[in-house]
Amino acid sequence: ASIENKTFRQKNRNSKNIVKNIEIIYRDWDILVVNKPSGIPVETKSITGKDLESEIKKMLSKEGVKNPYLAVINRIDQPVNGLVLFALNKEAAAKLSKDLTDRQIEKYYKAVVFGEFDKKEGTLEDMLYKDGKLNQSFIVSEKDSRYKQAKKAILHYKEEEAGKLDI
């Protein structure tokens, strides 16, 4: 297995950058981890829409991989940047998907927030219902009819640095 840490550039027909830089954090025969830039979706349903998955497939094709297999294991929202894990074969996709479902893969988030927390460290637990039509998630209570379809969400937080943000 080889590890590559490189960046590639992709331009569209109008020579405007679609994805300025996609940094490959880790790569071997089974997985690919990239640092997704903010502003680009991980995947899109639109045939003409540009997304990270399509750009990675193009990159693999340019490297000589015929009909590249690429499975998105985790997604992050379009406005944010962060690590996205891809499987490069069906076996890895099945294993990683199971690990994600079984919470064997941990996710960490960093956020800049305005205001102050009551506590410097804590845990938030809620039941989240995802409305596929609206593409939004909502906190639901046991009294809500959607509660049985909701998933438990646990967020541990810790203030790392407090200060003023100069704008």
Are 37 and 29 in contact by the 8 Å Cβ rule? The answer is no
Q: Nearest Cα to 23, choosing from 35, 32, 10, 11?
A: 35
> What is d(CA 161, CA 121) in angstroms, rounded to the nearest whole number?
12
Residue 77 falls in the annotated catalytic set? yes
DSSP helix/strand/coil, 25: strand
Catalytic residue among 77, 118, 131, 144: 77
Beta bridge partners of 158: 121
Element housing 116 (H / E): none
Are 55 and 13 in contact by the 8 Å Cβ rule? The answer is no
- Residues involved in catalysis: 77
